[in-house]
Each structure stands twice: as C-alpha cells, then as structure tokens.
Amino acid sequence: MSRRLRYQVAVSLDGFIAGPNREADWIVMDPSIDFDALFKQFDTAIMGRKTYEAMSAQGQGGGMPGLDVVVFSRTLPSKSGRRMRVMNGDAATAVRAMKAQPGRDMWLFGGGSLFRSLLDAGVVDSVELAVMPVLLGSGIPLLPAGPTTALRLAETRVLPGSGIVVLSYAVPGGQAPPQISFVKEHP
C-alpha cells in the first residue's frame, strides 16, 4: 500500500480554514486531542506558499517538529534544506512520486488552493476535518470554487467538552482514511 495524502485541517462551522487576515486564533483547543499521536501518523507535511509564509510569520519558520515539510510555490525560489524543501514544479506529479516512496502518510496541511489542485488531480485520499464551533463570517475558504467531489463518510467523533466535531471522509479513488485514533476517550 502506498502512502496516503490526507487533507486534515481545522475548519469553522461556516467553512473557513483561516480568518480574513489569515489568523487561526479561533481554533478551539481540546485536551482530548492527542497531538503527539496525531503527528506520529505523518512523516511529511505538504503546504502552499501562503500557509508556509503564515507559519513563518508566527515564528515557526514554516517547520513542523518531526516532519519533513514540502512547500509548493510558483513564486518562492526552489530550495532544499534540512527537513524542508520548496518546490516549483507540478504539485500533483511530485505528490504522486512521494506517495510511491516508503514512509508514513503525508499531511496536506494547507491551504485551500493547493487542496483544490491536488483534489482535482486525483491525488488526495481523504478529507479529515475538525469542525470548530465558531462562525467566522469571512476568511480563507476550505476549498475554492471548482468541480463537485462526492465524498464517503468514514467516521465521526464528537468532543462534547469543546463542541468540536471530527469528520473523516474517503475521496473516491483514494485509499481509505485511518480511524480517528488521536482523540482520547473520556469516561
């Protein structure tokens, strides 16, 4: 079985992955989410230039602890460094090649435009959303306009303490998503 490309992202109830100024301070933190377990499912994070720049502006340098980061950009110069690459070529072709390599799953971390292009190219395996109980009213959409894609619900989890709903969907033609195992059970 090849590696999966999983679009896993927090989203507001009205469908935004970031606020109008790219802010993410609206994301609810819930102690029942085991972020160590979540990160262990992946060895690579894939993101677009705007997501990379937003992370860099927050002092994260675009890196993610324990993960190789691949940034797709048409404007940043191509470069390779320790655990980080900027690529200028066709993202779908590069992702197909990465999926054929051994390793853990790849986290399509953001943003919406990159997700749209990879979904349209048929390389996204699953859509995994943490729906936050907040209405932003405007911002960066989960997915820019384009063709319709019917998904198959694989699993749901409700986190009653915070109101977060975790949804996992399989994309037609893709590999099935894993179980939602990063949410701790509470008595």
Q: Which CATH number does the domain housing residue 46 bear?
A: 3.40.430.10
Domain that residue 85 falls in: 5-18+34-100+108-139+158-170
Number of domains in the chain: 1
- 38 in any annotated domain: yes
User: Among 20-24, 32-36, 63-67, which is the least confidently predicted range?
Assistant: 63-67
Counting other chains too, the contacts that 87-93 makes at CB distance below 8 Å and 24 or more residues apart are 91/46, 91/117, 91/118, 91/121, 92/117, 92/118, 92/121, 92/122, 92/123
Residue range 90-112: mean pLDDT, rounded: 93
- pTM value is 0.92
- 146 in any annotated domain: no
Q: Are 142 and 186 in contact (CB under 8 A)?
A: no
Q: State the pLDDT confidence band at 186, using cuts at 50, 70 and 90.
A: low
